[in-house]
Amino acid sequence: MSSTAAYFDELYKGSDDPWKLRQGWYEHRKRSLTLALLPRPRYRNAFEPGCANGELTAELATRCDGLLAVDLHETAVRLARERVAGMRQVRVEQCTVPHEWPTATAPFDLIVISEFAYYLDAADLETLAARIAGSLTPDGTLLACHWRRPFTEALENADTAHALFDARCGLTRLAHHDEADLLIDVWSRDARSVAQREGLL
């Protein structure tokens, strides 16, 4: 984990938005897709590990009564807190997932794993999947969203991580968005489609 921390140290030394989360159309579009794929309009208690500078956090907060966002890097935590200042339903904490897990705050009816899982090795991914499975409510949703292109710091790829969630978390996949750059999957313990949930079928 120390090499990962050093990697983020270098990124945040150069910019408070090293991935262009605020300005880039790719990131704006990705957040819009992420929110659109959620099967429910609102969630009671959500968890977002790896929140970076809080751009997705701020948009998720509009759909959540309560949201816990965490990151391992102190600069990310500070920036995310600044981004969501005034959003009383949001808490931002420093935490190393999956080894540190907010059991006191669980269960969650939404867990969002965005641009995070590929920094974990195979053993930590297994731990993450087990933590997710043990922390979702009976109607809970898991959304995973990841960059698909290879990069040096990635210990796993998006497809491997999502396949592991599919196999280990005991959930039904409700949505799958697949393109060259990006993979988004949504699973739930509630296997009904959005139309079924609204009584349209």
3-class DSSP state for residue 179? coil
CATH number at residue 190: 3.40.50.150
| Average pLDDT score, the chain | 92
Query: Residue 165: pLDDT above 90?
Result: yes
- Between the alpha carbon of residue 167 and those of residues 61, 68, 126, 161, 199, the distances in Å are 29, 26, 10, 10, 29
Q: How many domains does the chain have?
A: 1
Q: How confident is the model at residue 24 (pLDDT cuts 50, 70, 90)?
A: confident
Query: Residue 6: pLDDT above 90?
Result: no
Average pLDDT over residues 121-145: 97
Write out the two tokens for 19: 């991935």
Query: Residue 26: pLDDT above 80?
Result: yes
Query: Residue 120: pLDDT above 80?
Result: yes
Position 134 scores a pLDDT of 97
Residues in contact with 25: Cβ distance below 8 Å, sequence separation at least 6, in sequence order:
none
Average pLDDT over residues 93-104: 95
Query: Residue 18: pLDDT above 70?
Result: no
Write out the two tokens for 125: 């991914």
Q: What is the per-residue DSSP string for 59-91? A: HHHTTBSSEEEEESSHHHHHHHHHHTTT-TTEE
Show the domain range for 11: 2-197
Query: Residue 1: pLDDT above 50?
Result: no
Query: Residue 147: pLDDT above 80?
Result: yes
Query: Residue 2: pLDDT above 60?
Result: no
Q: How confident is the model at residue 5 (pLDDT cuts 50, 70, 90)?
A: low
What's the predicted TM-score (pTM) here? 0.91
Query: Residue 65: pLDDT above 90?
Result: yes
Angle between helices 2-14 and 74-83 (to 10 degrees): 50
141, 111 Cβ separation under 8 angstroms = yes
Position 152 scores a pLDDT of 87
Position 23 scores a pLDDT of 79
Distance from C-alpha of 191 to C-alpha of 172, rounded to nearest angstrom:
6
> What pLDDT, in 10s, does the model give residues 184-193?
999 999 999 9
Q: How confident is the model at residue 3 (pLDDT cuts 50, 70, 90)?
A: low
> What pLDDT, in 10s, does the model give residues 168-180?
999 999 999 999 9
